[in-house]
């Protein structure tokens, strides 16, 4: 049998990674701008700074479901191209604000503009990568968060040091607009739309996706309205799992620099350097667990294991705080599990819902689950103030354990054994 060409990995994956790296940069560079003098220039209190960072996630909710629906039933490529223009424009405008009300309004608009990008990209990946490749494709895409976390700090810091806090928004916003010239020529909505794809690769993808839809019909999971999806307990389990994952991720991301500074007693330069290594391990962890998921098709197991691994390493990092480098080692290990569940996790909605509603379902899960991005950092700050830092981190651990238990409670069709059996029957029939 001839080897199937791999053009989809060269054209689709790099473009989606690059788009979301820049989006994540525009989302998080406010923290560096605040540290670089924006708070003093605008007279911002700590509470206003927190609100400015968090209001993004309120705006982020609005296009999650419409974005997934448009991507599935219209053109995800064109939709993302327009959102790039709007979020890049909002990012640039942030560099010209003169008061906190303008900042809050633009941060909200930025959240709205970016809100549909994530479910739209996941929809594109589901059009290009069959089920046995999807966890790896999702994991490659999810690596953007780790890569963005590694480069955003040094890059934003250099801009602020050389020019100022306003320029960090303007320059990084302009980079967003340049993305259009990468996105449009590389990405197509479906294999049938791409001019660069070979006949063999197109036929392979279309055949595999047709087999997937045959499984949906055979298992009677393909006929469902949005009303039925909202009343489906599995939908709410997926939301709960993703919420727990986001609480852990954003809570850890906020806590990491603070704890590194506490345990190492070093300056911010060394803290910035040490914070790189957990995110390097994040990339490795994503690849390993995606490969294991693809090999076994056991989506439940390889979603739950990284969540539990994250919870265990987080606990050990707190217990060993008195030993600087042992505690730091566990923090680096936290990075291995930090985003490793996301690739396998995002293969589960298409296994539970048909293509007609899977795009919208992804949007709903991402919208409600991403509220954890607001709750996680807030809980760390609130509980640290009310009790202590250890109690705050153990709260994050509790959310992670709950997320893992919810994952194990999902039906067997995302566990791997049933799908493997069905695929064998299809192949031999």
Say how far apart CA 209 and CA 202 lie, in whole Å. Answer: 11
Low-confidence residues of the chain, pLDDT below 50? 1, 221-222, 417-429
Query: Which letter does DSSP use for residue 4 in this model?
Result: P
CA distance readout (Å), 365 to 215, 371, 428 = 23, 10, 36
CA distance readout (Å), 271 to 124, 237, 268, 306, 357 = 37, 37, 5, 25, 44
Q: What pLDDT is attached to residue 92?
A: 95
Q: What pLDDT is attached to residue 224?
A: 53
Q: What pLDDT is attached to residue 347?
A: 82
Q: What pLDDT is attached to residue 303?
A: 93
Yes or no: say if 92 and 170 are a contact pair by the CB < 8 Å rule.
Answer: yes
Q: What pLDDT is attached to residue 281?
A: 92
- Residue 25: CA count within 13 A, CB half-sphere: 29
- Residue 94: CA count within 13 A, CB half-sphere: 36
Q: DSSP strand E in 338-382: where? A: none
Say how far apart CA 290 and CA 418 lie, in whole Å. Answer: 19
- Please give the backbone phi and psi of residue 353, each rounded to the nearest 5 degrees, phi first: -130, 150
Say how far apart CA 203 and CA 222 lie, in whole Å. Answer: 23
Buried b (16+ CB within 10 A) or exposed e, 43-77: ebeeebbbbbbbbbbebbbbbbbbbbbbbbeebbb
Q: What pLDDT is attached to residue 355?
A: 64
CB-based burial of residue 132 (10 Å sphere; 0-12 exposed, 13-18 middle, 19+ buried)? middle
Say how far apart CA 206 and CA 197 lie, in whole Å. Answer: 12
Cα angle at 358 between 56 and 375, to 5 degrees?
30
Q: Which helix (H) or strand (E) holds 212?
A: helix 199-218
Yes or no: say if 116 and 364 are a contact pair by the CB < 8 Å rule.
Answer: no
Q: pLDDT of 282-295, one tens digit each? A: 889 988 998 888 78
Yes or no: say if 67 and 119 are a contact pair by the CB < 8 Å rule.
Answer: yes
């Amino acid at each position: 049998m001839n080897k199937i060409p791999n053009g989809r990995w060269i054209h689709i994956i790099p473009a989606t990674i690059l788009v979301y790296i820049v989006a994540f940069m525009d989302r998080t560079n406010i923290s560096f701008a605040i540290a670089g003098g924006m708070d003093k220039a605008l007279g911002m209190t700590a509470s206003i700074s927190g609100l400015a960072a968090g209001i993004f996630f309120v705006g982020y909710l609005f296009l999650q479901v419409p974005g997934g629906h448009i991507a599935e039933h219209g053109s995800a490529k064109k939709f993302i191209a327009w959102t790039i223009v709007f979020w890049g424009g909002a990012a640039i405008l942030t560099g010209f604000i003169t008061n906190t009300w303008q900042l809050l309004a633009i941060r909200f608009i930025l959240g709205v503009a970016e809100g549909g990008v994530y479910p739209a990209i996941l929809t594109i990946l589901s059009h290009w990568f069959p089920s046995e490749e999807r966890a790896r494709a999702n994991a490659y895409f999810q690596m953007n968060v780790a890569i963005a976390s590694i480069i955003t700090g040094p890059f934003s810091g250099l801009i602020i040091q050389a020019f100022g806090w306003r320029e960090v928004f303007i320059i990084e916003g302009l980079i967003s607009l340049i993305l259009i010239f990468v996105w449009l020529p590389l990405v197509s909505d479906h294999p049938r739309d791409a001019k660069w794809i070979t006949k063999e690769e197109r036929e392979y993808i279309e055949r595999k996706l047709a087999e997937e839809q045959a499984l949906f019909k055979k298992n009677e999971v393909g006929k469902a309205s949005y009303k039925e999806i909202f009343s489906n307990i599995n939908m709410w389990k997926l939301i709960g799992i993703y919420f727990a994952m986001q609480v852990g991720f954003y809570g850890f991301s906020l806590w990491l620099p603070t704890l590194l500074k506490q345990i190492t007693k070093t300056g911010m330069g060394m803290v910035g350097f040490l914070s790189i290594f957990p995110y390097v391990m994040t990339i490795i962890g994503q690849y390993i667990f995606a490969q294991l998921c693809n090999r076994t098709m056991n989506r439940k197991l390889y979603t739950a294991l990284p969540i539990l691994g994250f919870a265990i390493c987080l606990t050990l990092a707190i217990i060993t705080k008195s030993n600087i480098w042992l505690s730091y080692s566990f923090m680096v290990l936290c990075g291995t599990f930090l985003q490793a569940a996301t690739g396998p996790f995002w293969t589960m909605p298409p296994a539970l819902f048909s293509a007609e509603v899977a795009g919208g379902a992804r949007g709903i899960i991402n919208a409600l689950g991403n509220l954890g991005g607001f709750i996680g950092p807030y809980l760390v700050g609130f509980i640290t103030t009310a009790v202590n830092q250890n109690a705050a981190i153990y709260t994050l651990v509790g959310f992670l354990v709950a997320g893992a238990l919810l994952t194990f409670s999902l039906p067997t069709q995302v566990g791997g054994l049933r799908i493997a059996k069905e695929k064998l029957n299809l192949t031999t029939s």
